[in-house]
Each structure stands twice: as structure tokens, then as C-alpha cells.
Amino acid sequence: MFNIENNQLLALVDAAKDGFSKAYAPYSNFHVGAAALTVTGNIVKGCNVENASYGLTVCAERNCLAQGVISGEKAFSAIVIYTNQEKLTPPCGACRQVIVEFLAPQALVMAVNHNNDRKQWTVNELLPDAFTPKDLLEK
């Protein structure tokens, strides 16, 4: 299902932890880091950035993928989300939709916490029957 080498997965987790350390979350104190592996083998990372107007907060996963797009990447093979919560944290609904835009249905999405607990899904498991670019192209 996932064609990710162990050393790549470890590097993704480390990058997600680094993103976590840079999160700007003064209101919720809910820090999140994310890292994605591009299909070309590069790693991009992001963190959540809160705003006093809560609706303008941007999640780590969306910042991570946007960082990849800014770098010229538009296809990713995996994304890791890191928090220090006891309960593993899956992506929110908005992030799931953005993940569907850039990762294949069988791509890896993994949540990791400070205890190194892990849970993984495919993109399709997180958002089955998703609305995708394909839906816009097929009439």
C-alpha cells in the first residue's frame, strides 16, 4: 500500500516535530507540525499558525502542502502530522480536502505523538468519495 522507505518515514517524523516546535498557537496552545514527502523525494514541512480571529487560523497540514507548492511541488506520497496530545490527532475536514488535492488515494497519512504512538490511514480512508479535480474535468 505505502511505498515509503523506513528512513524516509523517520525523516518525515523528525521534520514534523521540527514544524511542531515552530507552531504559533498562543490561543489554544495546541501545537501541530506536519511534514510531507514529495514524489520527487523532497520533504516539506509546516506548522499551525493561529490568529486572534480564530477563523483565519491555518492548520499545519495546509501550510505544509502550500510550502511544497511554493517550492514547485504538486504531488506528494505521504504526510505526517505531529502533536504532543495523548490521543492521536487526525487531519481536520478542511485539511483532508486539501490532502485529497495533492496526494493519491492510497497515499500514507500518519499521526504521531510525543510518545511515538502512531496511527495511519490512506487518503481514501480519511475522505472516501472525495470531491477531486477529476470531478471538475469529467462532465
Residues spanned by the domain of 12: 6-137
pLDDT attached to residue 133: 86
H-assigned helices in 22-132? 60-70, 93-102, 123-126
- Is residue 111 in a domain? yes
Q: Assess whether 101 carries a catalytic annotation.
A: no
Greatest CA separation found in the chain? Answer: 47
Question: Would you say 16 and 65 are in contact if contact means Cβ atoms under 8 Å apart?
Answer: no
Residues 6+ apart with CB under 8 A from 62: 46, 94, 95, 98
Q: What is the mean pLDDT of residues 93-108?
A: 97
Decide: helix, strand or coil at residue 19. helix
pLDDT attached to residue 84: 97
pLDDT attached to residue 1: 57
Q: What is the mean pLDDT of residues 121-135?
A: 94
- The rounded mean pLDDT for the chain is 95
Confidence of residue 134 (pLDDT cuts 50, 70, 90): confident
* pTM for this model (two decimals): 0.95
pLDDT attached to residue 101: 97
Please tell me the distance from the alpha carbon of residue 124 to that of residue 108, in angstroms, as a whole number. 10
- What is the number of structural domains in the chain? 1
Percent of the chain with pLDDT over 70: 98
Q: CA angle at residue 81 from 70 to 105, to 5 degrees? A: 75
Per the residue annotation, which of 5, 50, 61, 86 is the catalytic one?
61
- Is residue 1 in a domain? no
Please tell me the distance from the alpha carbon of residue 118 to that of residue 129, in angstroms, as a whole number. 25
CATH number at residue 19: 3.40.140.10
